[in-house]
Amino acid sequence: MIETRDLTKRYGELYALDRLTLTLQPGDVYGFIGPNGAGKTTTMRILATLLNPTWGEASVCGYSIYTGSKEIRRAIGYMPDFFGVYDDMKVIEYLEFFAAAYRIKGPERHKKCEQVLDLVDLGYKRDALVTSLSRGMTQRLGLARVLLHEPQVLLLDEPASGLDPRARIEMRELLKELRNMKKTILVSSHILPELADICNKIGIIERGKLLFNGDVDAAISQVRQKHVYLIAVGDGLNEAAAKKLESWPEVAKVEFVNALEPMKVTLHDGQDDGSFLAERLIAERFKLKTLKEEEIDLEDVFMGITKGITN
């Protein structure tokens, strides 16, 4: 559905996009994640045929961005990160205006506008002025607008940016609904956890370079090279257990965060199965109260990949 190969955009010496290669299959929801200035908007604008790359290939729905811009524009819904709404226009008028631009005619036009309004839960704002809508509602209206012509592919540039937590959740629910409608979606964000649970694939981009391309679990295991376990034993014997643990060759280090929390036991590189810890502690007659692998925060994954740091 979307394919890019060595897609590159240069502004003078700056590589806004540096040999981006990725593929989205039909039905994929691809989270495009990167800090400000990473190249997300540049990618979306190239795919939407609004910007020419310096070199490289890209196609959407089988049409090349160089020769098929008319077809691509018909097949996609592109929601930019910032878009204007018109003063003195009601919500329904705004949609009718764009539906007319998409050449949706007669009763079908009205039906379509009502349908997309319902989908984004803005039916009750039909007669409100677009300028009176909150940021979250404006974003939902923007999404309604790009759904009017029933595109198969959606390019959504930071749809949740600037929204409060509640509006973010509503936007996420809406994206899930679009996913269930089998749309192919490229959605960008600078926050990984925001997209992790709705996307089947993610790409992490920084300074124009795709640093990671795959699923969320693969991103976690790329960052996690060392395995850390949280361990606590009963009868006030944590110190004694720590001494024992430190004597085992698989254990790299043991740390106490504070007296109330379990100790952190880090295994050596390549040691990814910690089940021996339970067996041996019990064999040493410690009463095991806690033993679990430390969860890795998705923010840490993002930071780890974008900075090339592994913990």
Contacts with ligand ATP by CB under 6 A lie at 11, 14, 16, 34, 36-42, 81, 190
Cα separation, 128 vs 291, whole angstroms? 56
Which CB, 162 or 214, lies closer to ligand ATP?
Answer: 162
DSSP SS3 for 227:
coil
Tell me how far, at minimum, the Cβ of 142 lies from ligand ATP, in Å: 16
Q: Residue 160 in contact with residue 189, Cβ under 8 Å?
A: yes
DSSP 24-66: E-TT-EEEEE--TTSSHHHHHHHHTTSS--SEEEEEETTEETT
Q: Nearer Cβ to ligand ATP, position 148 or 204?
A: 204
**Least distance to ligand ATP from the beta carbon of 41, Å?**
3
User: Which residue's CB is nearer to ligand ATP, number 45 or number 145?
Assistant: 45
Identity of the residue, 14 or 240, whose beta carbon is nearer to ligand ATP in the bound complex? 14
**Residue closer to ligand ATP (CB basis): 111 or 307:** 307
Beta carbon nearer to ligand ATP, 56 or 262: 56
Instruction: Name the E strands within 90-206.
Output: 153-156, 184-189, 201-206
61: left (phi over 0), alpha (psi -120 to 50) or beta: left
CB 263 within 8 A of CB 229: no
Q: How far is the CB of 48 from ligand ATP (least distance, A)?
A: 13
What dihedral do alpha carbons 204, 72, 199, 79 form, nearest 10°?
Answer: 80
Q: Name the minimum Å distance from CB 68 to ligand ATP.
A: 22
Would you say how long the chain is, in residues?
Answer: 311
Give the span between the Cα atoms of 28 and 6, in whole angstroms: 21
At 9, which amino acid appears?
A: K
Q: Name the minimum Å distance from CB 300 to ligand ATP.
A: 20
Q: Which residues pair with 188 in a beta bridge?
A: 32
